[in-house]
Structure 1
Amino acid sequence: MFLDKKRFKNAFLERLENMYGKNINESTTIEQFMVLGSMVKEHISKNWILTKKNYRERGEKQVYYLSIEFLLGRMLGTNLLNLGIREIVEEGLRDLDISLEKIEQQEPDPGLGNGGLGRLAACFLDSLASLHLPGHGCGIRYKYGLFEQKIVDGYQIELPDYWLREGNVWEVRRSDKAVEVRFGGNVWVEKVGERLVFHHENYESVLAVPYDIPVPGYKNKTVNTLRLWSAESAIKDFDFQCLNNRDYQKIIDYKRSTESISEFLYPDDSKEEGKILRLKQQYFLVSAGLQSIIRSYKKRHQDIHDLPNKVAIHINDTHPVLAIPELMRILMDEEGLEWDQAWSITTRTISYTNHTTLQEALERWPIDMMKTLLPRIYMIIEEINERFCRELWNKYPGEWDLIHQMAIIADGQVKMAHLAIVGSYQVNGVSKIHTEILKKQVMKNFYACFPYKFHNKTNGITHRRWLLKANPLLAKIISDTISPNWIEHPSDLNYLQNYAKDPSFQEQIFLVKKKNKISLSNYIQEKYNISVDPNSIFDVQVKRLHAYKRQLLNVFYIMDLYNRLKENPDLDIIPRTFIFGAKAAPGYFLAKRIIKLINTVATVINNDPTIHGKIKVIFIENYGVTLAEKIIPAADIGQQISTASKEASGTGNMKFMMNGALTLGTLDGANIEIKDEVGDNNIFIFGLTPQEVLHYYQQGGYRARDFYQSDPRLRKILDQLMNGFFLKEVVEFKFIYYSLLQENDEFFVLKDFAAYADTQQRIDQSYRDHKAWTEKSIINIAHSGIFSSDRTIYEYASGTWEIRPIFIP
């Protein structure tokens, strides 16, 4: 089908007629996308079948990556690149007077994730397949994504993100692989011989139906699987007597309750119903996933005791931690194993990645909720806790406070991070500093108890999407300069250091950045009717909006810069375009007020002719993977300014450096490792250190009001929140004001402001020397290879999962 351009064109026209009964002139762009997608999936399917066959016959160990999010982005372009057929397809479509770029724009971003957690999972799937490693994803097929963000009068408005409106061309529904997941009901125990048998009755039955998406590796024959589970009603098990009584409402309520499980990513958990739904989602994911994994294992292997030698199950953050008691349930209740046997298998099969030091993100569930919704699972967790506490008592006799702190069940709650550590054979942080904070601060008691479990795996990004696909102009220059080997061996990017001072290469890099900035400028003009100068510094902060990520620090600097320009319109600065992109959780009031502030400041600045366009502020709505691919290649500065110690790793910092942007950041997460790679002169670091932040949290002594009183810039900015300078309705920003001064500025925005402003001034001065700036840019690109997810996955494969490449013949 894709061997040459002529065969492709004929096949495309024939498929279009067969699917839609139309010729090329009558077809719509979305129909053309569906046709091309179906052809590409068919092309992938042969190797998909071959991969499964080889895995089955070889019987090698495989890993299953359980994650509540998979932020895939559009897949057509990536699949074409990985299959090595993009040029044939693009040229063939051009002959038919069809733009491949326009077809690609028809594909929605799959609503399967929100931020770095989900994007990391997607990058890992790409690297697993590209490295010939047998590894698969397991997630939920959300009908709606988090939400579609609209900005109306500066406010975030949430609309349903119905990404499945046209279906998903990449998925295959596997009805024959469906499994049952049980909620509620009651459990009673019967002694049969020497065994206790647990009977689960009166439960609500939910059918988990898998939808499989192929994940092809880069120019190889490996095609792994992302399996997404959809919740459906198990009507066949329903009491049909209610139909005779015309009690339709009972069935409607049941169907609604069932289907809501896989309806929305991250339902609002500010109320009890939302909390229950989140817990349901988490158990639904792990129960369906583990039942499927065990069923697949038993088709190939006789002995369940050999499971850890053939299967590795990895839980991505605390959301899938119920995999631990669920595996225990399957091994004991369905496979007939004793507790000690089941526990030994479980704790040699499951590994865990922690993604946060934020206490609110280390999930806890009320005992009563867990016991009611998941009675058998709660019984198992209770037994795990009892046995663990007895071990602690033997190790630390009499230290009741320590045991209470480490208990899995305490203070009326089930502590999921504790369960994850106790039930896993390995726990990893996602950057060197994050892992050290886990060991010495957040989980120091567990590290003292299980030092052998803790390891570091610094995150990575797939360079094939974030450079080869997102920035083809830069990728071509790199390939022409050092050969295309870097695509399969990203460490080869290091060779670019030899060209950092080369005037000809610098000029090429500069021109590519300029073209990408013009492209983004055109998008902004078309979308928002705002003219931005491509010669200005593109200063970008795009990420999930959270107080610790400190978009507030950025907008305060913009307010200060505007104040200075108003006082002196002739102020000597390089023109600056500040670009934001961020979604705030629907129930996160402070974050949504920060979005309103950014947009209010943008409206005032962008419409003030007295500052002569020296600064512009752009908030790009509905930020996601596809927009990131447009924004990041155009950035001169990537802002990574989270409060030190709060960002576990960050991967946006890696994407920016790989595309030649310089990092403006704190000593947080992977910023530290980027700094170690590129050197102090090629990154802009400011602010408190992690140790200083942790000292303030532990010892106190920080007074935010001191900075308000001592720094006239800050006093003016904060007063402008309250005096109507930017917005007459002063009540809008009171919450921000009070969070800083009355609640003492939890994330040290005011403390770091002066250092941040000074560093921004250094950026202004540095950018004036284009030659030196471009040299810094090249050095960043050259050192980005170590942050490829290929490196991260290789470390997991060898050091955690113990899986080996399987080369598909």
Structure 2
Amino acid sequence: MDRMPSGRMNRAFKYDYEGLDVASIKQSLANRMIYAVGKDNYTATDRDWFHATAYVVRDRLIERWMETMRTYYREDTKRVYYFSLEFLIGRSLINSLLNLGFCDETREALLELGLDLEAIADLEFDAALGNGGLGRLAACFLDSMATLSLPGYGYGIRYEYGMFRQAIENGHQVEHPDNWLRYGNPWEFPRPEVLYPVEFYGEVVQYHDERGRVHHHWQDTDEVMAMAYDTPIPGYGVDTVNNMRLWSAKASRDFDLRYFNEGNYIKAVEDKTDSENLSKVLYPSDETTEGRELRLKQQYFFVSASLQDIIARFLKQHDSLLDLPDKVAIQLNDTHPSIAIPELMRLLIDRYHQEWETAWEITTRVFGYTNHTLLPEALETWPVSLLEQLLPRHLQIIYEVNHRFLNRVMHQFPGDVDRLRRMSLIDEEGGKRVRMAHLAIIGSHTVNGVAAIHTKLLKERIFRDFHELMPERFVNVTNGITPRLWLHQANPGLSGLISRYIGHDWVTDLPALAELATFAEDEEFLEAFRQVKRANKESVAASLADRVGVRVDPTSLFDVQVKRLHEYKRQLLNVLHVVTLYNRIRNGQADDRVPRSVMFAGKAAPSYRIAKLQIELIHAVADIVNNDPRIGDRLKVLFIPNYDVSTAVGLIPAVDLSEQISTAGTEASGTGNMKLALNGALTIGTLDGANIEIRQEVGEENIFIFGNTVEELEVLRRNGYDPRSWVNADPELRQTLEMIGGGYFSPEEPNRFKPIVEGLLNHDRYFVLADYRSYIERQKDVDRIYHDPDVWARRAVLNTALMGNFSSDRTVQEYAEKIWGVKPERNL
């Protein structure tokens, strides 16, 4: 496999104070080992060398980072602030080396010291700051903003523990704490001087000033301090280094000395412990009242601190908050940060004494809102009673916003009472709840979907009333991924091959990959492409044998579904195909099928019982299939535990078939589909999310589309969908379900998977049974094409070549032009 390219662009960096040559790096390594780590060559461990290397890279980041920040101040640049509860950035060492352009020099410097860069880099913990696509998208956007020299900041929470570390014990998902900060984080800079109070509970009192104007004062609150931690985010081949600022909760007082003196040490630190729990864990369980309250506290905690920070930065250079929208753009990554809208109103009205109309104009001009879901049940709501207790002033503001908004709707659509009910910020059914997505729409100047079909469905179905009232507010910005991580770093063999044939510009200009299409008939290129894929598959097979204990044949079709476990993503449909294929092989009906290694990975939320049961089913099926001598190597089933960014970086380059099989109209976009196709995997998928746009780019013949469309599913719903009718008409499907529900895969507990089958037969809300036969037949087409290595390789090459539109650089550029109104800072 080719060595990873250094990534240096054809230009000189202006800020090379520390030097990027091998000799300078060796000297820096020695200095950092002694003066930062406190070790020498005799006592240093491999982990010490990781930290020393990280500090060497960080030193070179700092030069550019500080100059970037100075330039933004000097030029008085309008800045973008990306509010997200997740930033799934993964590991930073190799990414930073590639972006700064001295990966090869660092590798050589370490080699001269008897050390291996890749082995050292593997010791870095993934930053546990996210869970799935939402957090990975945010990380891609930070990379692209820096690479495009756009003045962009990320704001979020510095979780001490991630969602959880997933282990599999006897086929069951078991959650363990994800203590990613155990050995420290060399990339972050604590900022104890950047500290803001965040308040909860209390009461609101009303008073009049000397001119008779009404004011509100929020008093008798509980206070938590938000302390900043900064992480530099380097662009690729440029001097721009942007900032990700994460907040950690600190107690306003360390402990109560009165209790301490009385000998009650637990009580003395109780308030401190309660306060600092705010930033402990990503997504605390929402099964309990306490868990739901903690989630809302987390959301408010980080947006309040961020807004105070943004205003403080703005006021360093400007006198009037009327100019705030000209210098500040805030993007809400889904509904989680939408409490920022009433918080900015509170700050403008209560702290800075702006009139309501002025404050509302400022607020709506500042915020943009990205929606990431089409599932009505996933649209976040909060009980009015909880807001009344936790954030009483914000509830007052929400009520006032709602009153003024509904008055506008009433005049626009007189007499339409039902429309008022549908559009209200307050859902009155089943206990009053605040609809946070409605709040985000009303309080933002632009609302965007993340794929063409997603935006279409937002306009026509989910938010139809809002689109009819203000159609100019809705736009589409299809998601993208950073090619720096997901091809250049993840797949050095393919990256090097591409660069040898078409040059290196594609790393920052992904549409340039289209030139590869001219080599799709070139036998020499196709053979090299196949060799890269084979090497990647051999590497993954060796890793899986060690990690999972299952040996897979590298020549088999690597059929992979990697994503969060959720019913709408339909891992269950994939399992039904596995069982069907297993039966055919046993019965001698699959002689034309290629050997297949079916791999699953993803976490189920701890309280999501049916998703966790599906993980158990996957393991139960794997146990039977993998140990049946009649099957041999013709079919293997694996579940890869604790799927994270590093696992994805290792696995995705080896995939042949990408499973993107969600029910049409449920996946907003997806980005895993993009990562896999970019690395030469062919997609089997529904017409859902970005699959539709991928098909448009790569061509219908280079993707395997199956299943009912959104419109066809709507007809099924209207006509009264009967799942059992599909089973009665399909003997093969009936046999598959009887095996699962009857205990074939769980003989020691025959009824174990009966709830899964009964759920399908009685509800099947995601139309698994309706799409089963179409899926099975399309999988036969997959086998037929894979039988011919040349045909498969040509289609795989075209997938890579034609994915240029799915770069996050393009996505972020569209945000900059359509929503944020920001331009690249050219003076760096």
Flag the 1:21–1:447 CA change in 2: closer, same or farther, 3 A: closer
The partner residue of 2:193 within 176, 187, 190 is: 176
Q: Deviations over 1:407-429 (max 9, x none)?
A: 00131010000000000000000
User: 1:263 aligns to what?
Assistant: 280
Kept after mapping to 2: 8 A contact 1:222/1:808: no
User: 2:36 aligns to what?
Assistant: 19
User: 2:784 aligns to what?
Assistant: 765
User: 2:806 aligns to what?
Assistant: 787
Q: Deviations over 1:646-694 (max 9, x none)?
A: 0000000000110000010000000000000111100000001012223
User: 1:312 aligns to what?
Assistant: 329
- Alignment of 1:637 onto 2:672: no
Kindly provide the amino acid, as one letter, of the partner of residue 767 in structure 2: F
- Alignment of 1:322 onto 2:339: yes
Kindly provide the amino acid, as one letter, of the partner of residue 315 in structure 1: L
- Alignment of 1:359 onto 2:376: yes
- Alignment of 1:229 onto 2:263: no
Shift of residue 249, structure 1, vs aligned partner: 4.8
Task: Determine the C-alpha separation between the residues in 1 that align with 2:404 and 2:716.
Answer: 37
Kindly provide the amino acid, as one letter, of the partner of residue 759 in structure 1: R
Kept after mapping to 2: 8 A contact 1:315/1:350: yes
* Aligned residue pairs, count: 806
User: 2:623 aligns to what?
Assistant: 603
Matches within 5 A, 1:687-766: 687-697=707-717, 699-728=718-747, 729-742=749-762, 744-766=763-785
The more displaced of 131-140 and 252-261 is 252-261
The partner residue of 1:116 within 133, 140, 145 is: 133
User: 2:513 aligns to what?
Assistant: 493
Task: Determine the C-alpha separation between the residues in 1 that align with 2:91 and 2:716.
Answer: 43
Kept after mapping to 2: 8 A contact 1:50/1:808: no
The partner residue of 1:536 within 556, 564, 570 is: 556
Kindly provide the amino acid, as one letter, of the partner of residue 612 in structure 2: K
The partner residue of 1:520 within 540, 549, 552 is: 540
Matches within 5 A, 1:235-254: 235=253, 248-254=265-271
Kindly provide the amino acid, as one letter, of the partner of residue 608 in structure 2: Y
Matches within 5 A, 1:71-82: 71-82=88-99
Kindly provide the amino acid, as one letter, of the partner of residue 229 in structure 1: W
Shift of residue 712, structure 1, vs aligned partner: 1.1
User: 1:5 aligns to what?
Assistant: 22
Shift of residue 253, structure 1, vs aligned partner: 3.0
Matches within 5 A, 1:390-429: 390-411=407-428, 412-429=432-449
Q: Deviations over 1:546-565 (max 9, x none)?
A: 00000000011000111111
Task: Determine the C-alpha separation between the residues in 1 that align with 2:147 and 2:738.
Answer: 54
The partner residue of 2:291 within 274, 286, 295 is: 274
Percent identity between the aligned chains? 47
Provide the aligned C-alpha RMSD in A: 1.3
Secondary structure at the residue paired with 2:393? helix
Task: Determine the C-alpha separation between the residues in 1 that align with 2:733 and 2:42.
Answer: 61
Secondary structure at the residue paired with 2:126? coil
Task: Determine the C-alpha separation between the residues in 2 that align with 1:194 and 1:294.
Answer: 27
Flag the 1:517–1:400 CA change in 2: closer, same or farther, 3 A: same
Shift of residue 29, structure 1, vs aligned partner: 1.1
User: 1:669 aligns to what?
Assistant: 689
Task: Determine the C-alpha separation between the residues in 2 that align with 1:118 and 1:297.
Answer: 27
Task: Determine the C-alpha separation between the residues in 2 that align with 1:494 and 1:570.
Answer: 37
User: 2:494 aligns to what?
Assistant: 474
Flag the 1:181–1:599 CA change in 2: closer, same or farther, 3 A: same
Shift of residue 770, structure 1, vs aligned partner: 1.0
Task: Determine the C-alpha separation between the residues in 2 that align with 1:96 and 1:136.
Answer: 37
User: 2:72 aligns to what?
Assistant: 55
Task: Determine the C-alpha separation between the residues in 1 that align with 2:419 and 2:268.
Answer: 49
Matches within 5 A, 1:677-692: 677-692=697-712
Shift of residue 538, structure 1, vs aligned partner: 0.4
Kept after mapping to 2: 8 A contact 1:569/1:611: no
Secondary structure at the residue paired with 1:348? helix
Shift of residue 730, structure 1, vs aligned partner: 2.2
The partner residue of 2:101 within 60, 80, 84 is: 84
The partner residue of 1:655 within 675, 698, 703 is: 675
Task: Determine the C-alpha separation between the residues in 1 that align with 2:269 and 2:751.
Answer: 44
Task: Determine the C-alpha separation between the residues in 2 that align with 1:19 and 1:788.
Answer: 38
Task: Determine the C-alpha separation between the residues in 1 that align with 2:590 and 2:578.
Answer: 17
Shift of residue 208, structure 1, vs aligned partner: 0.3
- Alignment of 1:385 onto 2:396: no
Kindly provide the amino acid, as one letter, of the partner of residue 718 in structure 1: L
- Alignment of 1:807 onto 2:826: yes
Shift of residue 247, structure 1, vs aligned partner: 5.7
Shift of residue 570, structure 1, vs aligned partner: 6.9
Task: Determine the C-alpha separation between the residues in 2 that align with 1:4 and 1:316.
Answer: 40
Shift of residue 528, structure 1, vs aligned partner: 2.4
Secondary structure at the residue paired with 1:398? coil
Task: Determine the C-alpha separation between the residues in 2 that align with 1:233 and 1:508.
Answer: 58
Secondary structure at the residue paired with 1:179? strand
The more displaced of 567-576 and 712-721 is 567-576
Shift of residue 215, structure 1, vs aligned partner: 0.4
Shift of residue 240, structure 1, vs aligned partner: 5.6
Secondary structure at the residue paired with 1:273? helix
Stretches (4+) displaced over 6 A? none
For structure 1, list consecutive stretches of 5 or more residues without a partner in the other structure.
none
Kept after mapping to 1: 8 A contact 2:626/2:632: no
Kindly provide the amino acid, as one letter, of the partner of residue 527 in structure 2: E
- Alignment of 1:300 onto 2:320: no
Matches within 5 A, 1:422-571: 422-568=442-588, 571=591
For structure 2, list consecutive stretches of 5 or more residues without a partner in the other structure.
1-17
Kept after mapping to 1: 8 A contact 2:581/2:590: no
Shift of residue 241, structure 1, vs aligned partner: 5.2
Task: Determine the C-alpha separation between the residues in 2 that align with 1:219 and 1:353.
Answer: 29
> Normalised by the size of structure 1, how large is the TM-score?
0.98
Task: Determine the C-alpha separation between the residues in 2 that align with 1:710 and 1:248.
Answer: 69
Task: Determine the C-alpha separation between the residues in 1 that align with 2:590 and 2:655.
Answer: 26
Task: Determine the C-alpha separation between the residues in 1 that align with 2:80 and 2:24.
Answer: 38
Shift of residue 634, structure 1, vs aligned partner: 0.1
Kept after mapping to 2: 8 A contact 1:645/1:694: no
Shift of residue 144, structure 1, vs aligned partner: 0.4
Kept after mapping to 2: 8 A contact 1:222/1:807: no
User: 1:68 aligns to what?
Assistant: 85
User: 1:580 aligns to what?
Assistant: 600
Shift of residue 350, structure 1, vs aligned partner: 0.3
Task: Determine the C-alpha separation between the residues in 2 that align with 1:451 and 1:32.
Answer: 56
Matches within 5 A, 1:161-240: 161-192=178-209, 193-235=211-253
The partner residue of 1:145 within 150, 162, 165 is: 162
> Normalised by the size of structure 2, how large is the TM-score?
0.96
Task: Determine the C-alpha separation between the residues in 2 that align with 1:209 and 1:504.
Answer: 56
Q: Deviations over 1:355-395 (max 9, x none)?
A: 00111211010000011000111111111011111111111
Shift of residue 242, structure 1, vs aligned partner: 5.2
Kept after mapping to 1: 8 A contact 2:25/2:56: no
- Alignment of 1:136 onto 2:153: yes
Secondary structure at the residue paired with 1:417? helix
Secondary structure at the residue paired with 2:218? strand
User: 2:10 aligns to what?
Assistant: none
Secondary structure at the residue paired with 2:664? coil
Q: Deviations over 1:333-370 (max 9, x none)?
A: 11110100000000100000000011121101000001
Task: Determine the C-alpha separation between the residues in 1 that align with 2:456 and 2:464.
Answer: 9
Kindly provide the amino acid, as one letter, of the partner of residue 95 in structure 1: E
